[in-house]
Structures are given as C-alpha cells and as structure tokens.
A = this chain, B = another copy of it.
C-alpha cells in the first residue's frame, strides 16, 4: 500500500503527457546530492527501505485518479490512462548506512518513463529527510568519541513521525538510546529518560522529589540537579543516592545537567560525587546539545559520561536539507543531461567504485570495477519487486560504523570538515563532453547523441 497522491502535481501532468505520446520506453533517473552542506564531511545514506516500500506498493487507484482529476479540473476519464499504474522498474542503490559523497548516486531508478517520473517526489522526500538525519546523528557519534549519545529530540522534530525517524537515524548511527517510547519499542532500542524540572517543582523540596522518584523506580535512577541551584542539587542527589545504597548508585545511576556551563558544572559535580564516595555515579549532559557542543565538551576534558542530544540534531538545524536532485540521465537508450546555469548533470546510469581511503570514482554503470575497489550501488529491486529482504537496523548500523571508521581524518572533523571528492572515470568524462557538445551544437534541439 502506498499513497500515490503524496506527490507533486507535475509528476502527474508529465505522466499523462508521456502516456498520451506513447513515451513509455525505459528511463533512468539518478538521485544524488549536488554538494554537501557546509559542516558535512560525508553523508550517511538512509531512506532506501522506505522508498522501496513506496515503489513496491505504488498503485494509482480510483480514489487517486479522482484526486488527480480534481486537482487538474479535468474530467475523470482524462485520468483513465494512469489508473492501475504500478511501479514495474528496477532500482540500483547504495544500501542504508553506507556513506556517500557529493555527486554520487544514492539511487538509480530504471523504469518506463511515466513510472520513473511519477515516483520522483516521494523517493526524493524519503532519501533526503532520512539521509539528512542519519548524517547529523553520525556526526554526534563521532564527536562523542565512544561515549554514549542518546536522542531527546521528539518534542521539537518536524512532527511526531519525523521524531520517530530521528530516533531511528540515531540508532543507525550508534546512539545508545532514545527518549521516544514509540520508537524505542518499535525499533527494539533502549528507551531513556527520568524527570523534568516540573517534577522537582511539584514537590516541597528537591530532596523530596528525588526520594519519591526512587520509591517509584527501584534500580538505577538519574536525578536532574539544576532546577534551583546546581551545586546544591548535586549534593542533595549524592545524599539520596548514598542512602539508596550501592545496588542503586553503582548500577548506572546518574545526575543530569541541563543548563549553564555544562563543562564547569560537570567538573564540579564529579568532584562532589567523588568526595561523597560515589565514583560510580555518572554524569549526563543535555540542553541544546549537538555535535559541535559535544565536540567542545569532549575536547575540554569535561567528565560527562552520556550526551543527550535533542532538537538541533532531530531537525539537523545547521543543515536541515540536502541539495538532492532526481535527474533523468538516460531515456530510450539515449544519454541525456541538463545544460543551463550551474546545474549541469552528467548523463547515463552510473556506478561508484570506492577504493581505500575514500578514493571514490564515479563511473558508467557498465564499467568494470578498478582493482581494489568495491561498487557502492547494488541492485535492490527488479521488475518492481525487492531482490532481497529489508535491511535490518542492525545491518544499517554495522555498515555505517564500518564506513565511519574508514573516513579520512579531515572528513571526520566536526568543525569545517573537508569531504573527500569523488573523481570521474575517463569513460564518464568522455561521454559527458560528447553529450554536452552535441547539445550545445543544437541548443533547444535534441537532448541526445547524434
């Protein structure tokens, strides 16, 4: 099942024209990011499985045709040719969790032209959104340098569904948990979270609040210590934790700092906890954190054990979208490209060969793999059906973990990362030059080779 109406209207108007003209030969569209946003040294591919769900379930039903007719102010019979349309094409794509660079196809669709066109909006949406979130989350994991990172973003993501995807992106990147109960239970990842400032305020004293919380929740607890005075809060937490005994305070209990100078407060809290003979009590930091803040705190040596990242990560605040495009690169055997302005695209179906150290080569799909390289795009759908089971979250996480480990240092960097640049194979370069020449020779003429 899928919603064929979740599309830009122009996909429909174009498909209607293609069908009218009998233009149903195979077309290949390539989805890629033209450039990486500033602050990104790589992208973590995500959204493929959801895009494939859409493709395999696509069916233009009577209700969809009626919606299209309404939108176009056309009689329903004009939409008849679209009725019953399904996606019958092939998809080659980079598996979720792999890293990609600017210009590298994340996905290529080859299908009868009206089908390949009609799916543009949905597929772009899914890959753009989820790759944006996974890339941001992966940077948080790099910044934390092995310390656990957890997701607190649900309250300010772009809707609750996007909150779910933020939790999933975090899990794929290696986060240790999420505050999002729905996501945690659906994805089988740890749920985390204990108390808000309002909880403390509802009790006569902070100490009353901590003791009440421990009564309701036997086992390890995390006390929020910055509602009134943070130092006093830590002292109170320490007193209560000591009373609860080592079965609680040495079992993963923590204090949480949510405001102020987190580095300085963490240092002071660590001293207070150690002085209270509570070396096993951990320190969690939260409050407007993203990979930039985590990086600074880690670099400063702040004794923070767990980083809870929220809004800025869940909306990828510094780069909330990617400059993705879904461009036709071949139609009916003719390589095609767009010439105008700066948005030139290279023609023909492609493959990306990755050599050691991210020595990536963007090549024609048919080229043999250079020695020592592996192809990034794999066939994931044929004739509208998946060629393999859905990737599990664990598989995606393992792929991303491996690719992150192999990133060059300048691409891993949190501030001003330098992404590796893929090179272009000789064959692709030659073809691009030939198609461009042919197009320039007859501007506004044929968009293919002579």
Binding site for B on A (CB under 8 A): 3, 5-14, 16-18, 20-21, 23, 27, 29, 67-68, 70-73, 113, 117, 120-122, 124-126, 128-129, 132-133, 152, 154-165, 179-182, 184-185, 191-207, 212-213, 215-217, 219, 226-230, 232-233, 236, 259-260, 311-312, 315-317, 320-322, 324, 326-328, 331, 336-343, 439, 443-448
When C-beta atoms are compared, the residue in chain B nearest to A128 turns out to be: B156
B340 touches A193 (CB 8 A): no
Q: List 29 A-B contacts (CB under 8 A).
A: A3-B182, A5-B181, A5-B182, A8-B180, A8-B181, A8-B193, A9-B180, A12-B181, A13-B193, A13-B216, A16-B216, A72-B191, A72-B217, A117-B198, A120-B196, A122-B160, A124-B156, A159-B162, A197-B328, A198-B327, A202-B447, A204-B445, A204-B446, A227-B338, A228-B447, A232-B443, A232-B444, A260-B340, A311-B321
A152 touches B8 (CB 8 A): yes
Task: Report Cα–Cα, A317/B359, bound state, in Å.
Answer: 32
A444 touches B217 (CB 8 A): no
Task: Report Cα–Cα, A234/B73, bound state, in Å.
Answer: 27
The 9 closest A-B pairs by CB, nearest first: A71-B191, A10-B193, A158-B158, A9-B193, A198-B328, A17-B216, A259-B341, A5-B182, A8-B179
A9 touches B161 (CB 8 A): no
Distance between A252 CB and nearest chain B CB, rounded to angstroms: 12
In the complex, what residues of B have CB within 8 A of residue A152's CB? 8
When C-beta atoms are compared, the residue in chain B nearest to A185 turns out to be: B67
In the complex, what residues of B have CB within 8 A of residue A320's CB? 158, 315-317, 320
B71 touches A201 (CB 8 A): no
A154 touches B182 (CB 8 A): no
B160 touches A157 (CB 8 A): no
In the complex, what residues of B have CB within 8 A of residue A194's CB? 10, 13
A159 touches B158 (CB 8 A): yes
- Known contacts A27-B198, A70-B185; 5 additional CB pairs below 8 A are A10-B193, A13-B216, A132-B158, A158-B158, A158-B162
A21 touches B212 (CB 8 A): yes
In the complex, what residues of B have CB within 8 A of residue A125's CB? 154-157, 159-160, 163
In the complex, what residues of B have CB within 8 A of residue A68's CB? 181
A205 touches B444 (CB 8 A): yes
In the complex, what residues of B have CB within 8 A of residue A444's CB? 205-207, 228-229, 232-233, 236
A182 touches B6 (CB 8 A): yes
B342 touches A201 (CB 8 A): no
Task: Report Cα–Cα, A50/B314, bound state, in Å.
Answer: 21
B181 touches A71 (CB 8 A): yes
In the complex, what residues of B have CB within 8 A of residue A14's CB? 195-196, 198-199
When C-beta atoms are compared, the residue in chain B nearest to A442 turns out to be: B205
In the complex, what residues of B have CB within 8 A of residue A311's CB? 321
A158 touches B181 (CB 8 A): no
B113 touches A202 (CB 8 A): yes
A163 touches B6 (CB 8 A): yes
In the complex, what residues of B have CB within 8 A of residue A122's CB? 160
A67 touches B17 (CB 8 A): no
Please tell me which one of the listed residues B10, B120, B165, B201 contacts residue A336 in the complex, with CB atoms under 8 A apart: B201
Distance between A230 CB and nearest chain B CB, rounded to angstroms: 6
When C-beta atoms are compared, the residue in chain B nearest to A123 turns out to be: B155
Task: Report Cα–Cα, A395/B73, bound state, in Å.
Answer: 25
B10 touches A229 (CB 8 A): no
Distance between A310 CB and nearest chain B CB, rounded to angstroms: 9
In the complex, what residues of B have CB within 8 A of residue A316's CB? 320
Distance between A152 CB and nearest chain B CB, rounded to angstroms: 7
Distance between A138 CB and nearest chain B CB, rounded to angstroms: 17
B5 touches A204 (CB 8 A): no
In the complex, what residues of B have CB within 8 A of residue A124's CB? 155-156
In the complex, what residues of B have CB within 8 A of residue A71's CB? 181, 184-185, 191
Q: A202-B328, A331-B202 are in contact. Are A229 and B339 (CB under 8 A)?
A: yes
Task: Report Cα–Cα, A311/B216, bound state, in Å.
Answer: 46
B315 touches A321 (CB 8 A): yes
Task: Report Cα–Cα, A213/B444, bound state, in Å.
Answer: 16
Q: A181-B12, A216-B13, A227-B339 are in contact. Are A162 and B163 (CB under 8 A)?
A: no
